[in-house]
Amino acid sequence: MSYVVIVLQGHSATNWKKQIKELLSEFSEQVSEQIQAGAYDEVLNETFDSPHAYFSIAFDEEEKVAAGMYLGTLMPTAMHRRLYIDAVVVNRKFRRQGILTRTLIPHMKKLATELGCRAIDLTSSKPNAQSAYLVAGFESPTTAFRLTL
Ligand SMILES: CC(C)(COP(=O)(O)OP(=O)(O)OC[C@H]1O[C@@H](n2cnc3c(N)ncnc32)[C@H](O)[C@@H]1OP(=O)(O)O)[C@@H](O)C(=O)NCCC(=O)NCCS
C-alpha cells in the first residue's frame, strides 16, 4: 500500500476539517470526547488561518481515505528555523503498516528541508512512537520543560 502526503494550508486545510477532526479523534478516547464537545474548534480554526501551519495528510488513493496525519508548524525563532511536529496520528484501521515510519516521518524530513529548517522538534510520551522516532534518527538531547496553565 502506498500513500501520498497532501500538504494543506489555509482554505484547503479548512476544506479538510472533517477528515482532520476524524483523524484527531483517533488519537485517544479522551481527545475524541473533547473533539465531539467542540473543545478544539477555536484553536483548530486559528491554526487553519496560520501561514506557519502545514497539515500533512497521508492519503490512501485507492480507498480514498485519510489514513494518518501530522501537523508541522514552522517555528519563528531567534536563531535557526525549526519545524515543530504535533498531532501525529494514524487511523486505527491503518496502524502497524508503517505509515508513521515509512510515510509520515520521511515526509516530515522532506517538508522541513524544503522549508529551510535545521531541525525537527517534537515531544512524545508514547513508547511505541518514541521507538519509531529513535529508529528514524531523532535524539533526545535536551530536557523539555512545560508549565501547564
Ligand atoms: C503511534 C502511531 C502514530 C504509530 O503509527 P503506525 O503507522 O501504526 O506506526 P508504524 O506502523 O510505522 O510502526 C512504527 C513502529 O512503532 C512501533 N509501534 C507502532 N505501534 C505500536 C504498538 N501498538 N505497540 C508497540 N509498538 C508499536 C513499532 O516498533 C513499529 O514497528 P514494527 O511495526 O516494525 O514493530 C499510532 O499508533 C497512533 O496514531 N497512535 C495514537 C496517537 C499517538 O500515540 N500518536 C503519537 C504521538 S507522538
In this prediction the pTM is 0.93
Residue 91's identity, in one-letter code, is N
What's the CA gap between 94 and 100, in Å, rounded?
10
pLDDT at residue number 3: 94
pLDDT band for position 110 (50/70/90)? very high
**Of 78, 102, 77, nearest to 90 (Cα)?**
102
CB 119 within 8 A of CB 82: yes
Length of the chain: 149
Mean pLDDT of 78-90: 95
What's the CA gap between 149 and 143, in Å, rounded?
19
Determine which residue's CA is closest to atom 35 belonging to ligand 1: 96
Q: Go through the domains of the chain in sequence order and give each one's CATH number.
A: 3-122 (3.40.630.30)
- Residue 31: alpha-carbon gap to chain centroid: 15
List pocket residues of ligand 1, CB cut-off 6 Å. 27, 88-90, 95-101, 124, 126, 128-129, 131-132
Tell me: the pLDDT tens digits for 44-54?
999 999 999 99
Tell me: the pLDDT tens digits for 57-83?
999 999 999 999 999 999 988 889 999
